[in-house]
Amino acid sequence: MSNLPEDLDGLLWTIAEKRDLSAAEDYLQRFPTHRVELMKRLSALESLQKFAPEDVTVPPFTPRPISAPLPTTWIVASILGIGLVGVGVTLFNNAGNTKTETVPVASSASPAHQPSTAIPQLRASRTAAEGVSQSKQATVPLETPPPAPVKTPAQRAIVQKLKLDGVQLSLVLQILAENTGLKLDVQPGLIDPKVSVEYVNQPALFVFEDLGRKFGFQAFEDAPGVITILPKKEETSGVPPQPNESPFGFNPPQERNPSSPFSGPIGKR
Amino acid sequence: MAVQLDGMSIVAVIAGVTPFKSIDEDQALVQQVQQGKAAAFELLYKKHYQRVYRIAKGVLLSPDDALDATQEIFTLAYKNIKKFDERSKFSTWLCKIALNRSIQEARRLQKYKKREAQLIEATDIPDAGPQMNDPHVINTLAQMKPQDRAVLVLHYWQQMTAEEIAQVMESTEGAVKVRLHRARDRFKNLYSERS
């Protein structure tokens, strides 16, 4: 900033902007010591205005991928990596509690009710939210009726937020499994397109099953903590399968034998 | 003379001098794009290209970066044109995108100090007064913040008033005047030092 009074400073800029020579002469007659300051402003503004780019040839409009505006690919990769780690941390935080819980042990006396995997999202969220209180009931004596439904690890693990764009399906499954503490058993023949998914506060099992409905495979918890991915066969995929359809004769978990060794209240051995 | 878009005549033309004389031409073109006539965007693109390029060039300084940024700015405008609600002029809305994107890009790149150093080392500056590629000007602008460069560009290259700049920058006229004054003063001081 110059040391000139504010009014004179403004006046000098006005003279310089308008390039009014007669006004400049009048001013310098009154304030001859300001000649250098006026010349600086004239020179700076003239240079700046002349520096304005000339018109360029208009190239054809070629839409750009805005999501990747950075000049170097490693920056893009690192941001993607940070994003994935963020998703991972979010998922891990939710899966952490479920990993430490004991796996339900067999009980033929009280077959557990397995919630339907085809239920709407609202119900899935509600049942997932009940998971903690239900697991606490494991300490209640068996005589206390009724026995609480016990959820499998894949039903207890909650995917708090998962949003992936243009990621291969196999990677999505892997990210889900690793961050929910579940094991993945992918059978051969899985089609692996790039997909975009978004889930908020859903049980992991629901997410796997929903992905299966959308991308042509059957997902079920074959054993506690183990998600089996069974790709749909070609001959049955000619017609897009309807949601909840089970063209392979597999029964989803809710339809399994209630006397399954993995059903029953916690604590009874 | 009228502009044809997919068989539709969309622009009322005055005197046949140029298709860009109608007062509401931008608005008509925007409406066409919003209705799915992508070809209308090509006309908006050609009409406003130089203006957007100048903003990008003034903020980013590098012609190559400015060309890239200009394409990105129009891509953004195209993608978001359905959100344009005509509360402001299309040109103002576009300038806003151009300014924000250019400043964002300038911050991200952060390579101007390096470039400035290279220019200082590589340039034997002749005493020939201001010129189109005056390295003094480039180096001086490179030392300034992108926002300050932007306000100078809008005022001295686009001949925009403080009120118009305030609309683009989503600020008040008074704040723009203060910023312009400071930016101008800083440019003058830096430029004088180098000269």
Asked whether this complex has an ipTM greater than 0.85, the answer is no
pTM: predicted TM-score of the whole model, two decimal places: 0.48
Residues 76-135, chain B, touching A (beta carbon < 8 A): 76, 78-79, 105, 108-109, 130-134
Distance of CA B110 to the CA centre of its chain: 19
- Among A1, A48, A66, beta carbon nearest to B156: A48
pLDDT of residue B76: 93
pLDDT surpasses 70 at B151: yes
CB of A1 less than 8 A from some CB of B: yes
CB of A71 less than 8 A from some CB of B: yes
- Among B53, B105, B138, beta carbon nearest to A69: B105
pLDDT surpasses 90 at B165: yes
| CB neighbour list of residue A167: distance below 8 Å, 6 or more residues apart | A175, A194, A195, A196, A197
Question: Is the CB of A50 less than 8 angstroms away from the CB of B130?
Answer: yes
Residue B99: closest CA among B42, B58, B64: B58
**φ, ψ (nearest 5 deg) of residue A158:** -105, 130
Longest Cα–Cα distance of chain B, Å, equals 59
pLDDT of residue B95: 94
pLDDT surpasses 90 at B93: yes
Q: Which residues of chain A have pLDDT under 70?
A: 1-2, 66-79, 81, 83, 85-149, 234-269
CB of A43 less than 8 A from some CB of B: yes
Helices and strands (DSSP H and E) totals, chain A: 9, 5
pLDDT surpasses 50 at B28: yes
CB of A269 less than 8 A from some CB of B: no
Strand order in the sheet with A217-223: A183-186, A226-231, A217-223
- Least confident range from A174-178, A198-202, B88-92, B117-121: namely B117-121
User: Measured between beta carbons, which residues in chain A are less than 8 angstroms from residue B189?
Assistant: 1
| CB neighbour list of residue A246: distance below 8 Å, 6 or more residues apart | A218, A252
Question: Is the CB of A48 less than 8 angstroms away from the CB of B137?
Answer: yes
pLDDT surpasses 80 at B49: yes
Q: Which of B97, B134, B153, B188 to mutate to test the interface with A (most CBs of A within 10 A)?
A: B188
pLDDT of residue B119: 52
CB of A92 less than 8 A from some CB of B: no
pLDDT surpasses 70 at B178: yes
pLDDT of residue B21: 41
CA nearest to B39 within chain A? A61
Residue A84: closest CA among A166, A153, A1: A166
Q: Are B39 and B45 in contact (CB under 8 A)?
A: no
